[in-house]
Each structure stands twice: as structure tokens, then as C-alpha cells.
């Protein structure tokens, strides 16, 4: 557990270094993306339940299974997520969760069910937190329903599956939307004087320099794929040929290797789908 200050806590799972947040004060208890193993979720729940606040929320930054798996442990908490949750493929998320649990022999004392959202969030909404508020920012790109949550007084941005130090952008929804979200994020960093970003996976980005580095390097990666795929589609290259050429790309100065190669290939397929379909 990382204690950012007296009422803001981050819990990092041993599964993919996935981050969950607990923010509690006299007025509210907020849990963001509780995950992953049952023993880890119970610790998060004990921290969140140790609050006499009347308003209690579990907020999902998006609907990927590793970010929603723990909600059953928070009885009495209202579930909040973006309105695009309505369009999520629930069965696909359940299949992925079951496959991962079977791989690692995870036994769950509470059977997972896809969360039923109590209150839908939209871009620009504010969740009052006594002397603070959480600003909701719609952040499509990774998924259609992705959001950021920004603590205005603490100047902390909870980013979901964006701006990780461990991985390049995974584009499940739209390349163009992802780039637009990164550009919007850069403006928010300046306008709201954001001092820390908590990504869905990995270490925090502390300070303007590190935050902007992650934004710019993620954008560079996406724009390189788009530019090269556009060129190759114009030339009439096949998907197989494009994959072969672009598999050697680097990210933040390092060659993409290991398990991330598969995700990189999926990004290229997504770009070809978006760009080449009209050619």
C-alpha cells in the first residue's frame, strides 16, 4: 500500500501491477478499480469500510475485467461508471477473467458478476468530496467508456489504462480517439496543474516532466503506427506484410519484446482496420 497523504491510498496488485485507489474523508469513501486477487481486494475493502461516511462509491475507470473484478466486496457502495458501460461486451470480459483465473488457479469466494452501474457518469461531472471534488473526464481510446478522475485539491489524475511506465498504449476502441485523449490530457495537466498521475498499471508519474514524457511518448507511438499504416495501405501492402515490417518498432527507445509483442501486433491490426478499410 502507498499512502499519498492522510486520506488517499493506492494498492498495487501483484497481477500486472494493477493499481486500486481508496480516497476517504469525513464526507465520502471512494474506491477506484478494486482488484485483483481476493486477498488483495479484502485488504482494500477493509481500508474503505473503515469510514463512517454516508456517501460510498466504487468508481470504474473502464470495464476491463481486471479493473472491475472486486466490486462484490463493497456492500452498500454505489457503483459508478461512464454511460458507455451500457455497450460493453460483458461476456468477453467474463471469459477473459475466467481464463486468467484458471491459468493461475485463482479461487474466488465471491463469484464474479458484471457490475450493474447505479449512476452513470459523463464528461465534466463533479463528485463532491467535502473540501475536494473528483472531476470526471471522458477519455475514449483505450476503450469507449474510459474515464479519468481528477482530485482538484490534490492535483492527482487517476488515469485507468493510460500513461503507464510498463506498457505502450493498448487501443481497443480508436486510434484517433486515443490521440485526442492524450492531447486533452496535456491541456488538463497545464490548466489544473496536475502533479501526479496514477496509471492503471505500474508506477506513478510524479511531476510535470515525467507526466509530459509519458503523454508525448505514447502519442509518438500511436502517430508512428498511423502514419506508417496509412503509407503502406496506400501502397497496397497486405496485413501480413504490414505486420512483418512494423513488428520491429520500438517504444520509448526500447525494442518491443516478450508478451508485449502480441499487444503491439493487435494495435497494428486495429490501425489497419481503421485506416485501410476505406482504401
Residue 82 lies in a domain: yes
Residue 67 lies in a domain: yes
How far apart CA 227 and CA 250 sit, in angstroms, is 15
The residue range of the domain holding 210 is 2-223
Residue 195 lies in a domain: yes
**Percentage, residues of the chain above pLDDT 70:** 99
What is the model's pTM? 0.95
**Residue 277 has what pLDDT?**
72
How far apart CA 88 and CA 76 sit, in angstroms, is 24
Residue 266 lies in a domain: no
Residue of 48, 9, 5, 51 lying closest to 26 (CA atoms): 51
Quote the number of domains for the chain.
Answer: 1
Residue 257 lies in a domain: no
Least confident interval from 34-43, 190-199, 254-263, 270-279: 270-279
Q: Quick one: cell of 72? A: 462484490
Residue 229 lies in a domain: no
For residue 148, give the CATH number of its domain. 3.60.15.10
**Percentage, residues of the chain above pLDDT 90:** 91
Question: Which pLDDT tens digit goes with each residue over 199-236?
Answer: 999 999 999 999 999 999 999 999 999 999 999 999 99
**Residue 86 has what pLDDT?**
96
Residue 144 lies in a domain: yes
Residue 253 lies in a domain: no
**Residue 278 has what pLDDT?**
53
Amino acid at each position: 500500500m502507498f499512502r499519498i497523504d492522510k486520506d488517499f491510498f493506492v494498492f498495487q496488485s501483484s497481477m500486472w501491477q494493477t493499481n486500486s485507489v481508496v480516497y476517504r474523508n469525513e464526507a465520502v469513501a471512494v474506491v477506484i478499480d478494486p482488484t485483483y486477487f481476493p486477498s488483495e481486494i479484502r485488504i482494500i475493502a477493509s481500508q474503505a469500510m473503515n469510514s463512517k461516511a454516508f456517501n460510498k462509491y466504487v468508481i470504474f475507470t473502464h470495464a476491463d475485467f481486471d479493473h472491475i473484478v472486486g466490486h462484490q466486496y463493497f456492500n452498500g457502495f454505489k457503483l459508478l461508471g461512464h454511460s458507455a458501460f451500457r455497450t460493453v461486451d460483458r461476456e468477453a470480459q467474463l471469459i477473459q477473467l475466467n481464463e486468467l483465473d484458471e491459468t493461475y488457479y485463482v479461487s474466488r469466494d465471491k463469484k464474479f458478476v458484471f457490475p450493474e452501474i447505479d449512476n452513470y457518469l459523463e464528461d465534466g461531472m463533479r463528485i463532491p468530496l467535502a473540501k475536494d471534488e473528483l472531476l470526471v473526464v471522458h477519455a475514449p481510446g483505450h476503450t469507449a467508456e474510459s474515464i479519468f478522475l481528477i482530485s482538484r485539491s490534490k492535483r492527482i489524475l487517476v488515469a485507468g489504462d493510460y500513461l503507464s511506465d510498463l506498457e505502450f498504449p493498448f487501443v481497443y476502441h480508436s486510434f484517433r480517439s486515443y490521440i485526442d485523449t492524450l492531447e486533452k490530457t496535456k491541456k488538463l495537466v497545464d490548466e489544473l496543474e496536475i502533479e501526479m498521475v496514477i496509471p492503471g498499471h505500474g508506477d506513478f508519474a510524479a511531476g510535470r516532466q515525467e507526466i509530459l514524457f509519458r503523454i508525448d511518448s505514447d502519442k509518438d507511438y500511436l502517430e508512428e503506427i498511423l502514419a506508417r499504416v496509412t503509407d503502406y495501405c496506400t501502397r497496397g501492402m497486405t496485413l501480413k506484410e504490414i505486420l512483418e515490417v512494423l513488428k520491429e518498432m520500438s517504444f520509448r527507445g526500447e525494442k518491443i519484446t516478450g508478451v508485449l509483442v502480441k499487444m503491439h501486433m493487435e494495435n497494428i491490426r486495429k490501425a489497419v482496420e481503421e485506416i485501410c478499410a476505406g482504401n
